[in-house]
Amino acid sequence: MRLLYHKILKIANKPGLRCSFLFVAIGVVCYDSWVLAYWLPFVAFYGRIINIFLGGVIMIIKNPVFEISAVGPKQYPKNNLPQVVLVGKSNVGKSSFINTMLGRKSLARTSNTPGKTRQINFYNVDSSFYFVDLPGYGFSRLSKQEQINMGKFIEDYLQKNNSISLIVFLLDIRHNPTSDDIMMLDYIKRTNLPYILVANKADKIAVTKVDSEIARLKEILGISFTTLVPFSSERKIYTDIVWNFIEDYI
């Protein structure tokens, strides 16, 4: 049943379709069913156009490529393309997020067993912006000192880079933010860089619970006015909503 809900949601999330549904509803109210049948193709087309005017996006990705695994500032790209940076604890789904948003299966390497490598992976998206995959923090198999070093490595990148256009801060919709999450979020706030929060793995809970979990996370984090949107790489839902936000910053 949950799968069916998510399938419907995925279709309803497609750009244009939300508007199309509205038109169909208006059509049903105003006309006999044979008129509606005649209308349908037009409804789908104009719904799409109107949705673009209303600020919807149809993000067309042509050729995203992995550019570099940087181990230090000298290797960060020298051009001024905007960078959209994924921040979050290990295993929250940063790499999967990049693959899902770009419609690629395994451009960004995902794993069940997070590694210890301190690398920042840059994905060049059609020479218009970068998705930047930061190493995860709070990886329990690292020693305390290694975790501190990892934190410094991430902060160093956030400080020494003036091409950062947006930080996408990933949380797990099912779990309370950890103390590391809260520390990282405080740090991000202090950088004054724009950020949005994305609650990943929404497929793991019932669709009917998504809104209340989002509200709960907002309350815990004390961020009533900050954007916090659900997401699922597994089911590839809510991608349009997130693209809408990203598009405003690139």
* Residues near ligand GDP, by CB under 6 A: 88, 90-96, 110-112, 114, 136, 200-201, 203-204, 232-234
CA 182, CA 45: separation in Å to the nearest integer? 45
- Which of Mg ion, ligand GDP, none sits in contact with 112, Cβ below 5 to 8 A by type? ligand GDP
Residues that bind Mg ion (CB under 5 A): 94-95
Strands (E), 97-185: 120-125, 129-133, 164-172
Q: How far is the CB of 17 from ligand GDP (least distance, A)?
A: 22
Token digits for 40?
A: 């349908």
Q: How far are the Cα atoms of 97, 108, 230, 236 from residue 105, in angstroms, in the given order? A: 11, 8, 21, 11
* Residue whose CB is less far from Mg ion, 95 or 100: 95
Binding site partner of 64, from Mg ion, ligand GDP, none, Cβ cut-off 5-8 A by kind: none
Residue 168 and residue 127: Cα distance in Å, rounded?
20
List, in sequence order, every beta strand (DSSP E) within 105-223. 120-125, 129-133, 164-172, 195-200
Q: Which residue is nearest to Mg ion (CB)?
A: 95
Q: Which does 96 bind (CB under 5 to 8 A by kind): Mg ion, ligand GDP, none?
A: ligand GDP
Pick 19 or 101: Cβ nearer ligand GDP: 101
Q: Which is nearer to ligand GDP, 35 or 103 (CB)?
A: 103
Nearer to Mg ion, 12 or 65 (CB): 65
Chain residue whose CB lies nearest ligand GDP = 93
Exposure of 38 in the CB half-sphere (CA atoms within 13 A): 5
Closest of 113, 19, 21, 127 to residue 82, by C-alpha = 127
User: Which residue's CB is nearer to ligand GDP, number 21 or number 243?
Assistant: 243
CB 106 → ligand GDP: shortest distance, Å? 10
> Is 200 within 8 Å of 217 (Cβ atoms)?
no
Length of the chain: 250
Minimum gap (Å) between residue 137 Cβ and ligand GDP: 10
Smaller CB separation from ligand GDP, 92 or 221: 92
State the minimum distance, in angstroms, from the CB of residue 121 to ligand GDP.
10
In whole angstroms, how close is the CB of 94 to ligand GDP at the nearest point? Answer: 4
Helix axis angle, 33-53 to 17-30, nearest 10°: 150
Taking the complex as a whole, the smallest distance from the CB of residue 170 to Mg ion amounts, in Å, to 10
